Structure formats: C-alpha cells, structure tokens
Amino acid sequence: MSNFLAHFIGRPILVLMAALTIGVIGFVSATKLQVAMMPSGMASANVSLFITANDMTPNEVEEQVYEPLEGELMTIPGVKNVWGSCYAGGCRVGIEMSPALDPRLAAAEVRDRLQRARTQWPAHVDRWFSWRETSDSIPLMFFAFALPDHSQRWFEMIDKEVKPKLEALDGVGQVSVWGMVDESVRILFDRDKLRALRLNISTILNRLRNDNLSVPVGELEDADTSYIVRADLRYHDLETIRGLPIGRGLRLREVAEVRPARSLRDSISRVNGKSTAMGLITQAAGSNTVDTAKNVRALLDEISERPELDGLKTIYMFDQGEFIEHSLKTLVRSALTGGALAFLVLLLFLRRLKMTLVITLSLPLSLLVALSVIYMTGDSLNILSMAGLTIALGMLVDNSIVVLENIYRIKQHGVSWYQACVRGVQEVGTAVFLATITTIAVFLPVIFAGDNPSMQTALLSFGLPLCMALAASLFVALVLLPSMTAFVHRNQEAVAVPTSTSHKLGSRFAALQTRLLEFGLRYRFATLLILVGLAVGGTLLTNATIKSGVGGDDSRRGQITIQFDFERGTTLKKANDRSERWEHWLDERRKKWNIKSVSARFDRLDGRLNIAFPTGTPHEHVRNIVTEIKRDLPQQPGVEFKVHSKVRSNDDGRAKESDRGFMVQLQGHDAEHLRQWANALGEALTKAKLASEVDLGNAGQQKEVRVHIARDRMQELGVDPGVLFGTMRSGLRGQQVSRIRHVDGRDMRLIAEYDDAATMELKDLKELQIWSQKTGFRRLGDLADFKFENGHERIFRRNGVLTVWVGGSRSEDVDHDRFAAGVATIMRSMPIPRGYRWTFGGSWRSQNEDASALLTAVMLGATLVLIVMGVLFESIVLPIAVFCTLPFAIVGGRSGLAILGVMEDNSMWFGLLILAGVIVNNGIVLLDHIVRLQKEGRQRGAAIFRGVQDRMRAILMTASTTIVGLTPMIFVDAGAQRGISYVAIASVVAAGLFFGTMLTPLVVPLAYTLLDDARIWLSRLVHGAQPTPTEVSEVTA
C-alpha cells in the first residue's frame, strides 16, 4: 500500500483536482443540509392510548375498561410490556413493542385490538385517541399569550384569528391553546320549586336536549328550483330558553334562572402574574424546523403590532428552532475554538507557518467529506452529528502530523524533499492506515449492533460523520499532504533541515522517557507491579470521589419546577387562590433571587410553577434557591408539593428524575398490601437517611363517599336508574345538556345544575329528591346507605400485575451505588410474600440498561480493534502490547471526571468508546516503528530506545492537538449550554488520552518485551528445547 501511495507524490495536479472536487461537493452538500434537533428515523414502536371514561372511579375503569383492553393487547405478536394507569374519568395505556416491529404495523395492530375491546366496554366509553412517539413529536414551540384583561374579545381573537393564521403557515402541523375562557349559558334550577311543583328534572333536561334541534324534513319543488325543508328548533337567545314550556302550563323561567356565564375551559395559566393562554405548536412532517420556527415568530410579532391587538404580548417558553440554533452555535463555537487551539499547538511544535497551514487543511476538507456523507444518506445536521464532528476535530490532524513529522525526520538526513516524502509515506503509511481503521472499527458494533432502532439511529448519526471525517483525514495525510509538500519544496536543494526549538523540546522529553524506559526494562517485574498498583489505586480513589447518577442536573438548565397536587374535589377557584399565594411569595423574592419569570399552569387536580433564571445563572445559585424553597415555601392545607426532585410516574411508571432522583417499583396482587409495603419502604429510606425526600406516588389513598343503592327498594318505588344517576350528577356538579348558537355567531355550552350545587354537603346529598313514578319525589337517603371508604387515587398495572412506586431524592452524601445497596438491605429485612417483587424503575432502570448495552458495545469494539490489529500486524503479541495502554487510559479518563467534578453518566461510555479507538494509535505508531527498526537489523532493545526517540514528538503533537481540540467542550459555559451535555465525553477522552500518552512510551515497550519473551519461551517449549530467559533488560541504546 505504501508503494501505491508513493505514486501520487509526483502528481500534484491530479491530487489537487481531487481535493477541489471533494471540497466543491462538500460545500454544495453543506448548503443543502437540513438542520434538525434530532436525526430523523428515531421512530418508536411504542404506542400510547388515552381513553375517556366519564363518571367512572379508578376501580371501575380498571375492571370495565382496562382489563378487557389489556387482554386483547397481550395477543399482539411482539408485545414486550403493556401498562395502564387508571384514574377517575379515564385511563392511559402504554404498549411497548419489540424494536424490530415496524412502527406503523404496531399502531395498526393496536387499533385492531382496541376495536375488539370496545365491544366489552360500557356504552358511554367511546372517546379515545392514540399517540406514537417519534423524533417529530417534540413540540416546535411552546408559548403563552399574556392578556391585558379577561375580556372575551381577547379569547375570540386568539381562537378565530391568531390560531387559524398560525395553522396556515407552511411547516406548522397543529396549534393547541389552553386556558381559554368559554362563554356558556347556565340553567340554575331551584330545588325547592321543583319539589313543590312535583317536576322531574330529568324530564326537563331531556326536553332541553330534544328541542334544540335543526332537522331536515324533506324537499320542496317550486318551478325549476329545489329546496331543502328544514325544521329549526334551535335556541338562538336566552329568552327562547327562558320561555321553554316544561309542562302544566309552566315555563322554564319559573323554576330556574337562565343566565350567561364565563368560565375557563380546562385550566388556568399565568406568566409573571398575568393571565395567559398557553399555546403549543407541532411541526408538519418533512418541514424545516428552524425556518418554520422563524416564520411562526415573525407572524406572532406581526400580529402583536396590529392596533386592535395592542396589549397582547407573546412570551416564548420553548422554541425548538432557537434551541437547535443555540445548540449548534455552541458546538460550532467549540469547534472553531478547538481548531484554533490545535493550529496554535501545531505552530508551536513545527515553527513553520507554511507547513502548519498545510496540515490544518485536513480540518475543513475532512469536515466537508463528512457533511457530504450526511447529505447523501438523507440525514440532517443535528445535535448528535454536529457533536460527532466537534469531538473528531482534534483527531483529524493526527494522521497528517505523523506523516509530516516522519518526512521532516528523514529530511534531516540530507535527502531531497521528494525522496523524504516518498520514504516518509512508505514508513508510516501502514501504521497511519491501521491507526485510523482501528478508530473507525471501534464504532462498528455500536452503529450496527443492538435491537433498538432508535438507539441505532442516534448512534449512527453520531458515529458515521466522525468515522467519515477520520477516513477523509487519511486521504489528506497519505495523499494530499505528501504531494503538496513535495510540490511546495520542488526547487529546494537536498540539504538537511535544521532542528527547531520545539524539536529539541520533544527530544528532551524523549530523553526523559528514555531514562524512565531504561529503568522499566531493567526492572521489568517491579515496574509491572508499580503500574498495576497505580491502576488499582487510581480506580479505588476515583470510585471514592467521582459523582455518579442518572438523569441530568436540572439546575444546569436554569429552571426550578414546583409540582403540586390538590386534594380531590378542589374547585378551580380554590386551586387559583392557592397558586396565587405561592406566585406572590415568589414575586416578593424576584430581585433577591434574580428570577427571570414565574409561570403557572394548573387545573382542579394538579399544577406546576416554573421558575426561570437568566442564561448563565450559576449552578450553585439555583441549588441554593431550591434549598430555600423547600424550607420556606408556605404550607397550604390539602396541597402536596415537591421541588425539583419531584419524581412522577408520568402515568407510565417512568420517573422524571433529577441527578439525585430515584424510583422503586413494587409489584403484587393486593393493592392494600402494596400500599402498606410502600409506606414501610418510605419510612425505612428516611430512617436510614438514604433519601431526603420520599414520594409515595400512586400508593396514596383517596377518601370516597360510597353510595350503596338498595336495588330492591329502587324497584319497589319505581325509580329509574337513569333518572337517579342524572339527578345525582346534576345535584353535585351539573351537566352539559346541549349547545346554543347565539345570534351574533358565538357558540356556547348549555349547562344545567342546581343553584346550590357548589355548596352541597353530605346532608344535602341525602336530602336530594329523586323522582319516583309511584310516589313522586323520594329522598336519596331512603334509597341508599352512605359510607366513607378509602379508594384508589390511581391504579397502575403492568403486564396484568398491580404496581405502586416509591420515588424521591437521595440524600446529598448518598451516591447511586450506596443507595442501591441500601435499598437491597432494607428489602432483605422485609417479609416479601410469594408473588411480590421489587425493581428499580424510571430513568434509573432505563439508563442502567443503556449503560449495559454501551458497555457491551465498548467491549465488542475493543475486541474488533484487537482483531483488526492482529490481521494487519500479522501478530498476536503486537496488538496485545498496544492494548495494554487502554486500562491506564480508562483510569485516567475517570480520574479526569473526578478532578473536574463532572458526573459519571451514560455519556461517559461514549467517551470511553472513542478513547479505546484513539489511545491505541500512539502505540501502533510507536510499535510499528520499533518492529521496522528490528527488521532493519537492530537489536530489540536498541530498536525500542530508537523508536521512542523518533516517534515521541509525533505522539506528543497528536495527543496535544486532540486534547486542546476538546478543551472548549469541557469548559463550555454551563449556563449558556442547552440540550445534550458533552462535557463527560470530552473530559473522559481528553484526560484518558493525557494519562495514556504519558505512559505509552513505558507501557507499550514493557508489555512488548514481556509478551515477546513469553512467545520465545513457548516456542522453545513446543519445539522441545529447554527454554532460557531472554535478558532484554541489559540492552543499551
């Protein structure tokens, strides 16, 4: 191969044209690349279902809706897990499919089973929708309209003008707005008048429904014109409703008050104390995220400037387009800074601007090749692909450095530049090729292995650009650089190049390494013990000091979240009063804490307060505020709140955890036993000081009033069940009976309820009058018994088994491993009946699974690298000797995390994967030269010392450029950083490469001599000769 590459050195025009062609193709591809947040194709076969079951308790939903559906779903081939969260009024169902199953086929199978299950559901359960998560399901934009007042015209403008214009934009999929105020018509029945007049409210409600109709009754022919005849009984104004006949010569106005009312549709939203309507925009498939987001902002800004909308202000909570731009700008800034630092390092070593510029050409050319591959494969320039390119940046000049350094070394012997270039490529071509192939090979198991298509897509988006850029740098180093070097110096005479100051500096370092190596080879076994002790000690020290965890540090994003749950039966007005109290408390501390904004969104069940800080807010400041909020936030009766570390099941059993969050799942068959088990576990975690906060999740109880109807008594009195339930429903919360189209075009709900429904108590419920066909009105208390019982707030099942979870936050001084061991100890001390089990859940479980998969990938990648080196070296000894630096590099990388205070998470495994492919390059270049010198006739010891002296400078240069190229990613401004953090990846690679490079000149020769002696000993043993030890420690330079 080296001889083949030498042919290109004398053909500079051919090489230059090839480089220009690559550059033009890359530039055109780069201009056409689509920018996105995540790679396309990250579709999941998992499907979620949301089923509405009004007026049903969690137990009823579980028994009558979820169980029939679960049985049907479990018959789908490829189903891994089925879970359901049943609550009052509905349930959410999740189906986890095999990753090998086509997502569209999975969705079709779920729809088929759903239709089968519907035949077993109660008749009124007929509303549901499904959701399949993809990379496109990330919202394009989340925003809020701050309203000057609660005037209806603002809501009408948003609903009828702003929303349609947004939906008409190219690239916008769907626009949803919450917190809108509806106008409705309330019919407030007087309970006493109905009873006195012996009127049945159900009969009146049926008339209200049936009279509000517009029905086509036929056609009418008149000459040449045909008319459709329609009977119109619709209500158009309040007077029509008030004058509705209800029997016995009575009108509705005589027993009820009919009046307009304004109420929120579903929830209340505020930002900085101002009422808002919260909006969510989804993106149309195939559209450009950044361009669409810009168009949305431009339209909203244009609308806000209209005179009739003066005072309506748009507040942007999340903008995916801005997020992408900011993330990519951060990565580009890191890449440019890293490239500039690498250039300065090269210039420092080479002291020749011309050659430094030539080497630096490998950066843009290699990146353009990678961008071309991204474009041709149909992928986008996203956060993952850009991260791969940024991390590769420092490695792209490594091959060029090795080749150029060897050319300069040969030129010092007085040969011509052309000969120096030819010999330089011939000597290191194989080693450079091997080093690059090993780095690429380490990614192959990650990119193409595994059974998770989404993970494969993500890893392919990260690894493919990196590998292609490295492959392009190989072309630059072995073809472009030697050819251009020979061409630039074509008229210079064959004289020796003077040694530069930096070369002398490299020689001094090589001399130091030589003395260390001389000691190591003289006392090999003692040195081996010292190195093993260093690795073991470093590992133990790192384990004791490094921070580990799952999830991300929420404080890094400059936001605090207070999540709260209201007690059952809380009205929207009470929920508003309680949220306002906390918002006011936070507003009083706005200046002290430097709060940017406080946003609130809540309904009758729960809500959240989001506290945002300016970009660049220090971590410690946010953490201190979290501590103060937990300590000082006013307590409110009936409201449970969690700050930051709130672990919620998200209705699917997956915890949303901060860096100290945890979730333990308990499974069994009896709900009461599970609840007691959860309580005991929570108390034990607190007592053992393993957890600073404990959240019992869905193990909580909900107090209920059970109305046990006497069926025989109901039949005896002739009470219709429909009348009974309808009367109770109207008496407690009212019901929508129809809709009214006002003459001015407004569409309003028609809601009927008793005038005292808001103040009804248990005694009033017992006195509720139920119409009997035989005796007229009867007290509800005459038909039923009332009991207070504990019911389920939420019932969670996974694969047919009841599940509760206990979550919270670990104590500050408890790391991941200590907490896991502590939970295991507590569980062993508890009596766990047969059929019950516990597991870690949430992000903890999923990230442990991901870590296991990545660890397997690292081991497979390392094995593949070992095989590739064995094939190309045609030796077993040499690859193993080169690989001996990897354990020390890993220890150094993890030590770097501990020193820099970076958390050890799953992204660290990506760093170790890259490190495994990079650290062996130095050993390959060194050992290849040593073997070459031995083939030229030098003794092994002399070849080792000479090889270290010849290659040390190149090794230092390649390591230095890679490390400084990663430095901007390590020390990126955490406050300005968004999205995925690459600090752990960059830290592991940089620190591991530093420690590994320092030990390579000692570890590789030491391992080589030991393994070579073992090979000689075995060879003599196999051939029957008496083995004698080889005294390699007595060699001289």
Query: What contacts 298, CB < 8 A, 6 or more positions away?
Result: none
Q: Are residues 381 and 466 in the same domain?
A: yes
Query: What contacts 761, CB < 8 A, 6 or more positions away?
Result: none
d(CA 337, CA 326): 16
Buried b (16+ CB within 10 A) or exposed e, 733-748: bbeebbebeeeeeeeb
Does the predicted TM-score (pTM) go above 0.75?
Answer: no
Q: Are residues 483 and 509 in the same domain?
A: no
Q: Are residues 409 and 455 in the same domain?
A: yes
Task: For residue 1021, tell me if it sits in a domain.
Answer: yes
Q: Other CB atoms closer than 10 Å to residue 964's CB: what's the count?
A: 21
Q: Are residues 111 and 129 in the same domain?
A: yes
Single-letter amino acid, residue 347: L
Q: Are residues 1009 and 881 in the same domain?
A: yes
User: DSSP character for 361?
Assistant: T
pLDDT attached to residue 31: 84
Q: Report yes or no: 1024 and 1008 within 8 Å, Cβ to Cβ.
A: no
CATH of the domain at 728: 3.30.2090.10
> Tokens 């119409």 map to which residue?
771
pLDDT in tens, 229-239: 777 778 878 88
Q: Are residues 894 and 1025 in the same domain?
A: yes
Q: Are residues 580 and 518 in the same domain?
A: no
DSSP-based three-state secondary structure for 282: strand
Structural domain ending residue among the three candidates 446, 471, 491: 491
Task: For residue 143, tell me if it sits in a domain.
Answer: no
Task: For residue 340, tell me if it sits in a domain.
Answer: no
Q: Are residues 714 and 606 in the same domain?
A: no
pLDDT in tens, 597-611: 888 888 777 888 888
Closest to 15 (Cα-Cα) out of 29, 27, 5: 5
CATH of the domain at 534: 1.20.1640.10
Q: Report yes or no: 669 and 835 within 8 Å, Cβ to Cβ.
A: yes
Task: For residue 208, tell me if it sits in a domain.
Answer: no
Q: Cβ-count burial of 1026 within 10 angstroms (0-12 exposed, 13-18 middle, 19+ buried)?
A: exposed
Structural domain ending residue among the three candidates 108, 133, 158: 133
Alpha-carbon radius of gyration of the chain: 37
Q: Are residues 692 and 708 in the same domain?
A: no
Task: For residue 283, tell me if it sits in a domain.
Answer: no
The pair phi, psi for residue 948, each rounded to 5°, is: -65, -40
Q: Are residues 983 and 1008 in the same domain?
A: yes
pLDDT attached to residue 554: 39
pLDDT at residue 585 above 90?
Answer: yes
Output 795 or 654, whichever has higher pLDDT. Answer: 795
Q: Are residues 951 and 1011 in the same domain?
A: yes
CATH of the domain at 622: 3.30.70.1430
The pair phi, psi for residue 595, each rounded to 5°, is: -80, 135
pLDDT at residue 314 above 60?
Answer: yes
Residue 755 in tokens: 């005038």
**Could you give the number of structural domains in the chain?**
5
pLDDT in tens, 629-678: 888 888 887 777 777 533 333 444 333 334 567 888 888 887 778 888 88
pLDDT level of residue 875 (50, 70, 90 thresholds): confident
Q: Are residues 943 and 1025 in the same domain?
A: yes
Q: Cβ-count burial of 707 within 10 angstroms (0-12 exposed, 13-18 middle, 19+ buried)?
A: middle
Task: For residue 889, tell me if it sits in a domain.
Answer: yes
Three-state helix/strand/coil letters over 767-785: CCEEEECCCEEEEHHHCEE
pLDDT attached to residue 66: 92
pLDDT in tens, 35-91: 777 776 665 567 888 888 876 778 888 889 999 999 999 888 888 889 888 887 788
Domain assignment of residue 16, given as a range? 1-32+355-491
* Alpha-helical regions (H) of 688-800: 711-717, 721-732, 762-766
pLDDT in tens, 154-211: 777 887 788 888 888 888 877 888 766 667 888 888 888 888 888 888 888 888 888 8
Task: For residue 188, tell me if it sits in a domain.
Answer: no
Structural domain ending residue among the three candidates 133, 160, 189: 133
Task: For residue 412, tell me if it sits in a domain.
Answer: yes
The pair phi, psi for residue 599, each rounded to 5°, is: -115, 145
Residue 919: its H or E element: helix 907-935
Residue 560 in tokens: 């605090």
